[in-house]
Structure 1
């Protein structure tokens, strides 16, 4: 149980740092990561903590995702359903697939990050490896040239909290709408604040990955999205005094907090300013 807890803590930290831990945005939920961690522990009960973490990447970087990940240890009738890109079976009876908002774009990023982890950990003794590299924050500012800026504001902090929660519950529709228009996105769950705006506000920046020469029209996109946001009485009430703005910004226009200092992030644990979870992971597996 202790090794499972350590492994799960490390996997969650990796997922948060690499922008993969937000169910509403099409990435992992906690239940997904817990089952994947349990699967690795089940397969390698005598492995060390660092061995389990290494095997996590080796197994799932090469997993045939037409086959569900299943802890039951025997053939079940729970098969991949249409639209389920990363089927993971919940440990219940009868077996059911975990709910997922994953899209083609978020599925691609998850696979890329799993492969990155595998490449970094496959030959630990053959190069000067640091576990901190696994947890290095995803470099949004240098990976994408253009971002969709989603700004939410409301008269009070309490109203902003309600408004943001409602809009975020509609984000899966916005992601699919972008993909329908030929634009994949990497939805960053980090929240920023625009200090030039007087009202309480939250700003999100999603990296855009155009798949063709398609041009994104933020005005048209907002009109379509708002129809979905206010498609019932609750949404219309929330929208009365609150605002939502969509715009396109370049990487140079991102807030400073989205720029990563790779050297700094690789050596956080040496200076005692990393998250406690990171320190726990590194001290356990390092």
Structure 2
């Protein structure tokens, strides 16, 4: 969608696909009013004048921020007039989507913390939220001015000069979307406020950062780095899109005028040394309702709330009610994030040093770092001696989506249980799923009956390290309890299985070292796209050339690149590990 800006696409065609898919959602009929609901902004459908308030679709997340990936989902909010209810949203709209042949993998989740309808529309994944305004008059909006379809990369078969009310928002012109304000919170329940806050946070970030191009390139690079290095997943206890977006905004606000390579270097340096649990905040805590009529809601307050005080990596949302967006982060995940930030700091420092030498007329240093090194992966599976391989299996695609979603949401429990400082055990989870392609191919028809009981298999890995002197560790109680709880799920069907195996480095499956990783359907995990990475590297290299010479104080201190990853939080630091783990006995491990 808008914001692709040619970074990883040579044409507007990919952007048009997302815009057209999202536009179709805007054509959904409003059963209550008898009129057609139409969208605003880059999610615009075929807008028509409305005598009554209409439904407005507003994008948020990476799509709104302009850092949308080709394989990423579109986050959208359906902003509805007062006569629409959440029951209508999860009733008549879901029924209509079921009847639409373009819609696949429809998964309404009305009972979620933030109620959502998940589905694919013409192959594009969409997460659709619901909120209704107390004042429907604000939804009496005129349609946007028409834009020639060729701007969106329309096919040659389209009628010449045909127009549609979609703004030219392909990352070149600013987006035009319905703007929310604090008054829109009036009359909403807590779920409605949470639904609105995705849009409000995105709006706030776009207003705060001094240079959108710098912010977008820096954020794009950080997200790509986090994805490749196995750090991108809120569900698994790492950081998700909004967390990375807030961190990058914090850096950009404090480095006005700096281009993306400098902001990226300062991002790595700042947060590798950050004294967690000191919170990252873009402004004061918004603790009181911003306007009369808004319900008082609980906000992040570690002094008054012991649960908030126990959170390890607070990244606070900039809108009321101020909340910790990264409450899922655990000690193993924080350790890995810190260590990877130190590695990133070392690399960007080396790139800066090599660039300064070349500009000064010196010869390029031997083994100097390049931007590609920052986005190199796979070394995780060479860094440790022992791993646990968690296999999620099902007999067909539909069962797999359901079973995978359940297992993925429970893996944080396993990770927390494996972390045992009292027994000298540390775990290092890797936030990526790998499909076993040979088994997947056997059941490629998706039916399951001809592909055996496990035609869909995906694997997740956790590395294990042990303190000096530890000769025997029994992890069976932890793994067996986890397997029992998950496999005892009431809706589990035949063929839905979960297994845990112990692997040494020498016996890891070959697919973890392959270049192309398949993503898991229904997961926030996305596959590594080499085109996206290459385009990000090219954009960073061009920005670095434009930046010119680097200031001396941009060079990070490499002292934190070893040891415990710069952990200065006061929480459990890394245990001393044996440099030769294979020389020690390892008994009673799963598998």
Determine which of 214, 223, 226 is the counterpart of 1:15. 226
| Cα distance, 1:182 vs structure 2 | 4.8
- Structure 2 CA distance, aligned partners of 1:100 and 1:276? 33
Gap runs ≥5 in structure 1 = 262-272
For residues 155-207 of structure 1, give each alpha carbon's deviation from its aligned partner in whole angstroms, at most 9, with x where no partner exists.
22221221111111111111111114653222222223173684222222221
- Asked if residue 282 in structure 1 is aligned to residue 510 in structure 2, the reply is no
- Asked if residue 250 in structure 1 is aligned to residue 504 in structure 2, the reply is yes
Match of 2:463? 207
Please give the secondary structure, in 1, of the residue aligned with 2:266.
helix
The answer on whether the counterparts of 1:140 and 1:258 sit within 8 Å (CA) in structure 2 is no
The answer on whether the counterparts of 1:144 and 1:209 sit within 8 Å (CA) in structure 2 is yes
| Cα distance, 1:274 vs structure 2 | 6.2
For residues 127-153 of structure 1, give each alpha carbon's deviation from its aligned partner in whole angstroms, at most 9, with x where no partner exists.
533111111104122111111111222
- Asked if residue 27 in structure 1 is aligned to residue 27 in structure 2, the reply is no
| Cα distance, 1:47 vs structure 2 | 0.3
Gap runs ≥5 in structure 2 = 1-211, 288-299, 303-307, 355-364, 443-451, 516-527, 542-591
- Structure 2 CA distance, aligned partners of 1:184 and 1:285? 35
Decide whether aligned partners of structure 1 residues 182 and 224 sit closer, same or farther in structure 2, where only a CA change above 3 A counts: farther
- Structure 1 CA distance, aligned partners of 2:493 and 2:424? 29
Match of 2:435? 192
| Cα distance, 1:75 vs structure 2 | 6.7
The answer on whether the counterparts of 2:434 and 2:512 sit within 8 Å (CA) in structure 1 is no
- Structure 2 CA distance, aligned partners of 1:133 and 1:187? 21
Please give the secondary structure, in 1, of the residue aligned with 2:499.
strand
Aligned positions of 1:173-184 closer than 5 A: 173-180=413-420, 182-184=424-426
Aligned positions of 1:99-118 closer than 5 A: 99-118=326-345
- Structure 2 CA distance, aligned partners of 1:66 and 1:11? 21
Deviates more, 1:39-48 or 1:184-193: 184-193
Aligned positions of 1:266-277 closer than 5 A: 275-277=530-532
Decide whether aligned partners of structure 1 residues 276 and 58 sit closer, same or farther in structure 2, where only a CA change above 3 A counts: same
Aligned positions of 1:49-198 closer than 5 A: 49-72=260-283, 74=284, 78=300, 80=302, 81-122=308-349, 124-126=352-354, 127=365, 128-180=368-420, 182-188=424-430, 189-193=432-436, 195=438, 198=452
| Cα distance, 1:45 vs structure 2 | 1.7
The answer on whether the counterparts of 2:388 and 2:501 sit within 8 Å (CA) in structure 1 is yes
Please give the secondary structure, in 1, of the residue aligned with 2:434.
coil
Please give the secondary structure, in 1, of the residue aligned with 2:218.
helix
The answer on whether the counterparts of 1:186 and 1:206 sit within 8 Å (CA) in structure 2 is yes
Name the structure with the higher helix share: 1
The answer on whether the counterparts of 1:153 and 1:242 sit within 8 Å (CA) in structure 2 is yes
- Structure 2 CA distance, aligned partners of 1:89 and 1:159? 36
The answer on whether the counterparts of 1:149 and 1:206 sit within 8 Å (CA) in structure 2 is yes
For residues 243-270 of structure 1, give each alpha carbon's deviation from its aligned partner in whole angstroms, at most 9, with x where no partner exists.
1111111112212232379xxxxxxxxx
Please give the secondary structure, in 1, of the residue aligned with 2:503.
strand
The answer on whether the counterparts of 1:182 and 1:214 sit within 8 Å (CA) in structure 2 is no
The answer on whether the counterparts of 1:19 and 1:138 sit within 8 Å (CA) in structure 2 is no
The answer on whether the counterparts of 2:483 and 2:499 sit within 8 Å (CA) in structure 1 is no
Question: Relative contact order: is structure 1 or structure 2 higher (C-alpha 8 Å, sep ≥ 6)?
Answer: 1
The answer on whether the counterparts of 1:192 and 1:204 sit within 8 Å (CA) in structure 2 is no
Please give the secondary structure, in 1, of the residue aligned with 2:388.
strand
- Structure 1 CA distance, aligned partners of 2:419 and 2:479? 15
Give the structure-2-normalised TM-score.
0.43
Which has more radius of gyration? 2
Please give the secondary structure, in 1, of the residue aligned with 2:276.
coil
Deviates more, 1:202-211 or 1:49-58: 202-211
- Structure 2 CA distance, aligned partners of 1:105 and 1:65? 14
